[in-house]
Amino acid sequence: MQRRVVVTGLGLVTPLAIGVEETWRRILAGESGIRPIQKFDASGYKTRIAGEVLDLNAEDWLPKKQVKRLDVFIHFGVAATRMAWEMAGLPTPLDGRLGPRAGCIMGVGLGGLQSLEETIPQVAAKGPESRVSPFFIPKLIGNMLPGVVSMEFGAKGPNTCLATACAAGTHAVGEAMKVIQRGAADIMACGGAEAVVTPTTLQGFGSAKAISTRNDDPARASRPFDQDRDGFVMSEGSGVLILEALESAQERGAKILAEIVGYGLSSDGYHMTAPDPEGDGYIRCMNMALADAGIRPEEVDYVNAHGTSTDLNDLTETKAIKAVFGGYAGKLAVSSTKSMIGHMLGATGGVEAAFSVLAIRDQVMPPTINYTTPDPECDLDYVPNQKREGRVQRVLSNSFGFGGTNASVIFAEYRP
């Protein structure tokens, strides 16, 4: 019999707040974390807005000596993991019995880009005379995040990093579930982290015409499924979940927030950045998650959509949801929390998985804000502008990434 996997901890670092409850309160209030960029002078760029994390003191979450040796994305990821760890009631570090049965899988899109941008000009200017930190490479590589989690918390089981662009966090959550189901671990920290609000990414995404230029109204710039959407808003942060085998959680007396029951993944095999216009990859991904969960489409109450606020993604995701859910699609609540926090790239799947769990915990569906001009081709119920209370027993969360890589996970209300 397949092991059941439950959620016992959550951690969030977002542009709205540092912490789960305050971030969630502001999400349900429909507040936006998008503002003019403050971390560097963006005045000369076409896009001058982002979702920045400005108030995280890394020394509150990591030893001071470690802070200087690690990139900002690792600061975010360890902070979110520590929150989730504490919520789950796990000891730090784990003892000799639990340690080898606990692991970590994290999703990262671009890794230590801030450290890279700081170092390249030094080497370009001084060549072999440049003073490069011996910690430069460890700062840069994505798998240092799960590595540091292992060291900080004593999680000595499966440990890996996924770099599947904007689907990475969701892939990490799904793969962590499978690790527990097949018995390779009992406890897994999973999710994603990203810190790439930098001049290079701003110029890169701007050149691709992928990001919003609504600089005069930052809070209204991210507008998924709205006819006037003009691109996603780049963001940063981290979302981490603690997944646990049901018997392990019961043995520890842990509070169970929800159960994770389904995981799907697929590839479009179509284009580097654009989705298959018919949504073939999205459709197969959601259907796989439903089959894995052993549920019918009409048993899903809410979809936390990828909903990036780009023309192609929102249209394609809408088509795919209609194809998967058929006549039930019009009765299904679908919303994009990216309308409030922007797009965190590799971190977004972990953050949105946490929101999905909280929707079940509190029986409420977060809104899609800035939905003012309906797009005739995007005609689902996007929970416009205000939260909606209602029965939430099962939630499907989607993430789709560059390269055509797709991931969906399904969470359910826990029933003994």
CA distance 340 to 271: 28
DSSP-assigned states of every residue in 184-248: S-SEEEEEEEE---SHHHHHHHHHTT-B---TT-GGGS--TTBTT---B-BB-EEEEEEEEEHHH
For 358, residues 6+ apart whose C-beta sits below 8 A from its C-beta are 10, 20, 24
Question: Does 161 participate in catalysis according to the annotation?
Answer: no
Helix (H, G, I), strand (E, B) or coil at 165: helix
Question: Pairing relation of β-strands 258-267 and 49-50?
Answer: unpaired
CB-count exposure of residue 171 (10 Å: 0-12, 13-18, 19+)? buried
Q: How many CB atoms lie within 10 A of CB 100?
A: 14
Question: Does 285 participate in catalysis according to the annotation?
Answer: no
**Closest alpha carbon to 105 in 66, 162, 64, 154:** 162
CB 364 within 8 A of CB 27: no
Question: Does 306 participate in catalysis according to the annotation?
Answer: yes
CA distance 8 to 39: 34
The pair of three-digit structure tokens given for residue 409, joined into one six-digit string = 């996970």
Q: Which of 75, 171, 190, 343 is catalytic?
A: 343
CB-count exposure of residue 97 (10 Å: 0-12, 13-18, 19+)? exposed
**What size, in residues, is the chain?**
416
Q: Which of 75, 104, 161, 166 is catalytic?
A: 166
23 φ/ψ sector (left φ>0, alpha ψ -120 to 50, else beta): alpha
Backbone angles phi, psi at 125, to 5 degrees: -80, -40
CA distance 121 to 343: 28
CA distance 350 to 173: 7
The whole-angstrom distance between residue 108's C-alpha and the CA centroid of its chain comes to 10
- Positions annotated as catalytic residues are 166, 306, 343
